Chain A
C-alpha cells in the first residue's frame, strides 16, 4: 500500500488540494488514517483542527479505520419506498454485522448514504462507488461474492 505521505504530497501545490488528497488516500486505504489528517495539515499548512474539520465535513470521507470494500445504501425516499429496509436487513445478515460497522476480517464496511442519483432503478447500493441497481434481498449474496 502506498504511503499516505507520498499520496498527500502529490497534491501539495494544488489550490484546495487537501480534498483531492483525502480522496486519493481514501482510494488507497478505503478510509483516511488519523495520522494522514495530521500529515495533510502539515502539507497544506492548515491547523490540525481545520484538517479534521475538512475531513469530517464530507460524509463520503471517513476518518479512522473501516472495512476495505465500502457498501453504501441509499436512505433517501425513492429507495426507501422501493424497499431499502429489506436490502439492509439482508446485507446485515449476510455480513454478520450492523449498519455503520465493519466486518471483523476488515473486508466490508456498511454505511447509509443520501441519494446517489440512480432513482430510475431503486433500491440502489454502491460498493466502492460502483452502483448496483434494482437490488433485492435475494440478490445480495451474489453481489457480495464479487468482493470476497
Chain B
C-alpha cells in the first residue's frame, strides 16, 4: 500500500494536512479554501505569472504566489489578509487598466474569472492610465473568436496547446507591453497550424477566446448543460451540450469526463452543428413513382409492416437482412438485432464493424478468446514505457487518444510507429518504420524472428500462458532480417532496434487500427500483432496489451449488442443451445440457429436475388463500402428497402421508405467506447422528427405484429443486461455514479479494465502463425499508382460534411500526391485531378506532399462529391470479410 505522508500546516488559522510536495494552493484546496487564480490551471504546468494567488506566509517578507510555493511543516498561511487583498486589488487594477470593460456585451460574462475577482475585490475601474491595446479581432475561422485585447497573458492557451494537445501552435511573441500570446508570425488561427480542438478556449479565463457558435446566443447562466458522449470516434469523450431555449448552441468541456477530461477535438467541440443542417429529414418519406413524398408515420409503418411481412412469407426469413449502426445507441442496435431474430426469424444482422474492425474481433478472438481492446486508454499516460503503433494514425482518427500518446512521449515514454505514410506521430516517433503497404505480417514476423534469435522472448509466459508456440517459432525462423527488409523496405538495423526495444521494455503497449485490419489478410495481421505481444509476455497487466482503437463512437457497442450475424448480445453464439433457449424464452419466439450473412455477403446475396428486403439503420454503405458501384447494383435489385437516417444519404436514395432519424443530442441511450466502457448519451433537446430512433423501431416492429414497447432506453439496457452475463452488472443507475469496463458480471463487480489477467478468455493464448499475403491488387503497367485510404482529422466518416463549420475548413477531398508524381503531371496543390481504378473513376483535388511515398496517393472517403470507394478494391479479408480499403491500383491524370 502506498503511504502518503501528510504535512501539517495552518491556513487561515485552521490546521490542515496535505501530501509532501503540495503547493500552498493545493493544500488550501484540499482544506476547502479556494485561493483566487488566473494563470493556475490544475491540468497545466504551474506558471506563477499572474500573482493573483499570492498569500501571506508568516516569517516571509514578500507575498509568495501560492501556486508555485511548496508547503512545509508548521507553515502559517493567510489567504485573505489585508496585505493579500491589497495586492490582489492592485494586480486587478493593473490588468483592468488594459482590458476593455465591455462586460455588458461580453460572451464570457458568467464564466470570466477576471470579472469574478474584480467583483469580489471591488475593482470597478483602474487608477492606472496609459496606452491600451488596439488589436484587430481574429474571427476569420468558423469556430473561435480571438480578441487579444481581453488577453491577460496568463499563458493558459499556450500551455494547453503545448501540454494537452502537443500541437505547439501558440507561444508568446514580443516582450513587455507588446507581449502577445499568439501563433507563429502572429497570423490568424485559420492561417496557422491550428487544429481547432478549442482547448485554448476551454482554459481561457477571460473573454479573449470564445466559441463563435455561442456569440450573442446566451450567457453562461442562461445555459442548461447536459453531459453526454461524443457521437464521433470511438474514444468516448464526454462533454456538456449547452442548451438555450430548446436548442443546442455549443459544446463545452466537462472536467468530470472519465476518458478525456477537458480535452476534445474539432469534431466533438465544433462538429455537433450537423444536427441543425437544413438537410436533416423531419418526416417519413415514401417513394412513389420513383420520387420521395412526405408521409405520416402511420402510413409509413403500415407499408413497412405489409411489405416486410409479405416478402418474408413469400421468400422465407433469410430473404431479409438488417444493418444496424455503429453510430446509433446500444439500445437501438439491441432492438435491431432483436427484431431481426425474433420477428423476421433470421440472423442476417450486421453493421459496419464488418467494414473496419471485424478482423479485430475475429483475430483477437482466435488468439485470446475476446475481440476487444485488452487494456485501457488511461494507461497510455499513466503506465506505458513504450507505445508501439502499427497501422494507426491517432492524432487524426482518434485525436484525444493521439494527444495522450504525444503527452506520454514528451514525458519520456518511447514511441515506435510503423506506417507507410508519414503521419504526425510517425514524424515525432523515436523510431519510424516505413514499411511498404500491405507488408505488416512479414514486418511482425521479422521482429519475432529477431526476438527469438536473441533469446528475448518471455519464456515463462510462453510456457505457462500460450499454446502452438513451436509452429510460431518455426515460421518466424523463415523471416530473416534480410528477407524481411527486402519485402518491407525497412532497414535491417531498424528491425533490430525495434525488436530489442519492444521485447526488453517491461510495459509496452501495442496499438493498431484500420491500417492493420483493412487488408486482404486483415485478420491475420491482427493475429500477428497478438503473436508479438504473447511472445514477449506483454499481456494481462497494466501498461501492456493489444489495443485496437475503434473508429466509430459505438462500433464496440454495436458488436456488444449482437448486431452481428453470429452472436447475441455479450458475444453469445447463435449456435449455442443454451443461449438460443434463453433468448427464445425471453423473446417468446423461436430463434434461428444458422449463422447469418455478413455485410459483403448480404450485398452479394441481394445482387444475386436471395436477399429481397433490407432494413438499414444509420449506415451509408454506398459511400463507405469498398467497390461502391457493386453495392448500388445490389440495392437496386432489392424488392423493398427501409432506411432510417438523419439525411437523405446516397444509400437512402435507394430506399422505398425513409424514416427520419434523431441525432445523438435528441435521445437517451448509451455508447460503448473502444475500451469497453458504456457511457450515457443524454437527451438535450427534442428530436427534430418528433421521435427518437428507439421509439421508431419499437413502433415499427409492433406494427409488424411483434409487440415491442419501452418507456425509456434504460428498460432496453436492462433487458440486454439480463440476457448478457458480461454486462449484467452495469445499469443506468450505476452509470450515473461510475464508469466501468465490461466484463462486469454483477452489481458489486468492479468492472474489468484489463483483460486476460492470469488466464486468457480462451484459456491458453493461441499463437497463430501467418505467412505473408500480398495485397489483392498491386500497381501494374495499366494502373501504376497505389491508392491508400483513410480518415482526416477534421472529418468523421459520414456526418461531419453536414457541419457548416467543418465543411468550411475542410470542404473537399484533398488527395495526397507525392511531389514526384505531381511533377510528372504538372499538378500543384489545388489542381483538379482524376483518379481511375478498374472499378470506377472520380475527380478530386490534389495536395502535393511528401507524407506519402513516391508512387502512392492517399484519399479519404468523407465526401460524396469524391466517392473514393468507387475506386477501392473488391478483395476482402478471407476470414472476416472486411474490404481491402488500404491498397488498390489506380492511374491518375490531370483533370
Of all chain A residues, the one with the shortest Cβ separation from B162 is A47
Q: Of A34, A50, A59, which contacts B185 at CB under 8 A?
A: A34
A53 adjacent to chain B (CB < 8 Å):
yes
Q: Is A29 an interface residue (CB 8 A)?
A: no
Residue ID in chain A nearest B184 by CB atoms: A48
* Bound Cα distance A58, B169 (Å): 20
B783 at the A interface (CB under 8 A): no
Residues of A within 8 A of B158 (CB): 49
B430 at the interface (CB under 8 A from A): no
Contacts of B172 in A (CB 8 A): 53, 57
Question: Which residues of chain A have C-beta atoms less than 8 A from B175's C-beta?
Answer: 56-59
CB neighbours of A50 from chain B (8 A): 168, 171
Residue in contact with B184 in the complex, picked from A52, A57, A59, CB distance below 8 Å? A52
Q: A34-B185, A37-B184 are in contact. Are A49 and B168 (CB under 8 A)?
A: yes
State whether the Cβ of B170 lies closer than 8 Å to any Cβ in chain A.
yes
Most A-side CB within 10 Å, residue of B158, B168, B185, B186: B185
Q: Is the interface of A mostly helix, strand, loop or mixed?
A: helix
Q: How far, in angstroms, from A122 to B171 measured CA to CA in the complex?
A: 38
Q: Give a binary string over A47-86; 1 marks a CB under 8 Å from any B CB, 0 the rest.
A: 1111111001111000000000000000000000000000
Q: Are A47 and B174 in contact (CB under 8 A)?
A: no
Give A58 to B179 CA distance when docked, in angstroms: 11
Alpha-carbon gap, A53 to B158, bound state (A): 11
| Residues of A with C-beta under 8 A to B162 | 47
Q: Which of A118-141 contact B (CB under 8 A)?
A: none
Instruction: Check A52/B173 contact, CB under 8 A, given A34-B185, A37-B184.
Output: yes
Min CB distance B327 to A, Å, is: 35
Please report the total number of A residues contacting B with Cβ < 8 Å: 15
Nearest CB of chain A from residue B166's CB, rounded to whole Å? 9
Q: Give A14 to B247 CA distance when docked, in angstroms.
A: 57
- Beta-carbon contact of A53 and B173 below 8 Å: yes
- CB-based contact A49/B170 at 8 Å: yes
Q: Is the CB of B185 within 8 A of A53?
A: no
B406 to chain A minimum Cβ distance, whole angstroms, is: 12
- Which chain A residue shows the least CB distance to B167? A47
A92 to B163, CA, bound (A): 47
Task: Report the Cα distance A34→B185, complex, angstroms.
Answer: 8
Chain B positions within 8 Å of A53 at CB level: 171-173
| Closest partner residue, chain B, to A55 (CB atom) | B173
- Is B193 in the interface zone, CB < 8 Å from A? yes
Contact with A along B170-207 (1 / 0, CB 8 A): 11111100000011111000000100000000000000
- Closest CB-CB distance, B233 to chain A, in whole Å? 26
Residues B174 and A49 in contact, CB atoms below 8 Å apart: no
| Min C-beta distance of A51 to chain B, whole Å | 7
B184 near A47: Cβ-Cβ < 8 Å: yes
- B residues 280-310 near A (Cβ < 8 Å) are none
Q: Complex Cα distance A110/B174, Å?
A: 19
Chain B: CB-nearest residue to A50: B171
Contact present for A52 and B168 (CB under 8 Å): no
- Docked Cα-Cα span, A38 to B168, in Å, equals 13
- Report chain A residues within 8 Å CB of B182: 49
Q: Chain B, interface size: which category?
A: 10 to 19
In the assembled complex, which residues on chain A have CB atoms less than 8 Å from the CB atom of B174?
56-57
**Shortest distance in angstroms between B425's beta carbon and chain A's nearest beta carbon?**
15
- In the complex, A37 Cα to B172 Cα: how many Å? 14
Asked whether, in the complex, the Cβ of A48 is within 8 Å of the Cβ of B193, the reply is: yes
Q: Select one of A38, A49, A57 contacting B183, CB under 8 A.
A: A49
Give the residues in chain B near A48, CB-CB below 8 Å: 168, 184-185, 193
List B contacts of A56 (CB < 8 A): 173-175
Residue among A48, A49, A50, A59 with the most chain B CB within 10 A?
A: A49
* Chain A neighbourhood of B171, CB < 8 A: 47, 49-50, 52-53
A55 to chain B, nearest CB (A): 9
Residues of B within 8 A of A51 (CB): 184
Chain A nearest CB: distance from B582 CB in Å?
57
Within 8 A of B (CB), among A9-50: 34, 37-38, 41, 47-50
Asked whether A52 lies within 8 Å of B169 as measured between CB atoms, the reply is no
- Rounded to whole angstroms, the CA-CA distance of A59 and B174 in the bound complex is 8
Distance from A119 Cβ to chain B, minimum over Cβ atoms (Å): 22
In the complex, what residue of chain B is closest to A47 when comparing beta carbons?
B168
A37 CB contacts on chain B under 8 angstroms: 184-185
B841 → A minimal CB distance (Å): 38
**Smallest beta-carbon distance A75→chain B, Å:** 14
Q: Give bound CA distance, A48 to B162, whole Å.
A: 12
How far apart are A48's CB and chain B's nearest CB, in angstroms?
4
Q: Please name the residue on chain B nearest to A41 by beta carbon.
A: B184
Q: Which residue of B lies closest to A59 (CB)?
A: B175
- What distance in Å separates the Cβ of A36 from its nearest Cβ neighbour in chain B? 12
Most buried by A among B168, B183, B193: B168
The contact string, 1 if C-beta is below 8 Å from chain A, for chain B 232-268, is 0000000000000000000000000000000000000
Q: Is the CB of B169 within 8 A of A47?
A: yes
Q: How far is the CB of A16 from chain B (nearest CB, A)?
A: 16
Closest Cβ neighbor of B168 among chain A residues: A47
B290 → A minimal CB distance (Å)? 55
Q: Tell me which residues from 126 to 179 in chain B have a Cβ below 8 Å from any Cβ of chain A.
A: 158, 161-162, 168-175
Question: From B175, which residue of chain A is reached at the shortest CB distance?
Answer: A57
**Chain A residues whose CB sits within 8 angstroms of the CB of B170 once the complex forms:** 49
Q: Shortest beta-carbon distance, A37 to chain B, in Å?
A: 7
Most buried by B among A37, A48, A59: A48
Q: Considering the complex, give the chain A residue whose CB is closest to the CB of B193.
A: A48
Contact partners of B173 in chain A: CB under 8 A: 52-53, 56
Q: Which residues of B54-74 have CB atoms within 8 Å of chain A's CB atoms?
A: none
Cα(A56)–Cα(B176), bound, Å = 11
What residues of chain A lie closer than 8 Å to B193, measured between beta carbons?
48
Q: How far is the CA of A57 from the CA of B180 in the complex (A)?
A: 11
* CB neighbours of A34 from chain B (8 A): 185
The CA of A34 and the CA of B186, in the complex, are separated in Å by: 11
How near does chain B come to A50, taking the closest CB pair, in angstroms? 5
Provide the bound-state CA to CA distance between A38 and B158, in Å: 18
**Which residues does chain B contribute within 8 Å of A57, judged by CB atoms?**
172, 174-175
* Complex Cα–Cα for A80 and B588 (A): 97
Write out the residue numbers on chain B whose beta carbons fall within 8 Å of the beta carbon of A47: 162, 168-169, 171, 184
Determine the distance from Cα of A47 to Cα of B185 in the docked complex, in whole angstroms: 12
CA distance A58 to B183 in the complex (A): 18
Minimum C-beta distance from A64 to chain B (A):
9
B462-505 to A contact mask, C-beta < 8 Å, 1/0: 00000000000000000000000000000000000000000000
Bound complex: CA of A2 vs CA of B787, how far in Å?
42
Residues of A within 8 A of B185 (CB): 34, 37, 48, 52
Q: Which residues of A contact B184 (CB under 8 A)?
A: 37-38, 41, 47-49, 51-52
Please indicate the chain B residues that have their CB under 8 angstroms from the CB of A41 in the complex: 184
Closest chain A residue to B183, Cβ basis: A49
Complex formed: what's the CA distance from A21 to B184 in Å? Answer: 18
Chain A residue numbers with a CB within 8 Å of B169 are 47, 49
How many Å lie between the Cα of A58 and that of B172 in the bound state?
12
Q: For the complex formed, measure the closest distance between the CB of A58 and the CB atoms of chain B, giving whole angstroms.
A: 8
Residues of chain B lying within 8 A (CB to CB) of residue A38 = 184
Cα separation A53 to B153 with both chains bound (whole Å): 14
**With the chains together, A129 CA to B593 CA distance in Å?**
89
Chain A CB within 10 Å, residue with most, of B172, B184, B193:
B184
Distance (Å) between the CB of B605 and the closest chain A CB? 54
| Closest 4 A/B residue pairs (Cβ) | A47-B168, A49-B171, A48-B184, A53-B171
Sample (16) of A-B pairs whose CB atoms are under 8 Å apart:
A47-B162, A47-B169, A47-B184, A48-B184, A48-B185, A49-B158, A49-B161, A49-B168, A49-B169, A49-B183, A51-B184, A52-B171, A52-B184, A53-B173, A56-B174, A57-B172
Which residues of A are interface residues toward B (Cβ below 8 A)? 34, 37-38, 41, 47-53, 56-59
Contacts A48-B168, A48-B185, A50-B171 supplied; 13 other A-B pairs, CB < 8 Å: A41-B184, A47-B162, A49-B158, A49-B170, A49-B182, A49-B183, A49-B184, A51-B184, A52-B173, A52-B185, A53-B171, A56-B173, A56-B174
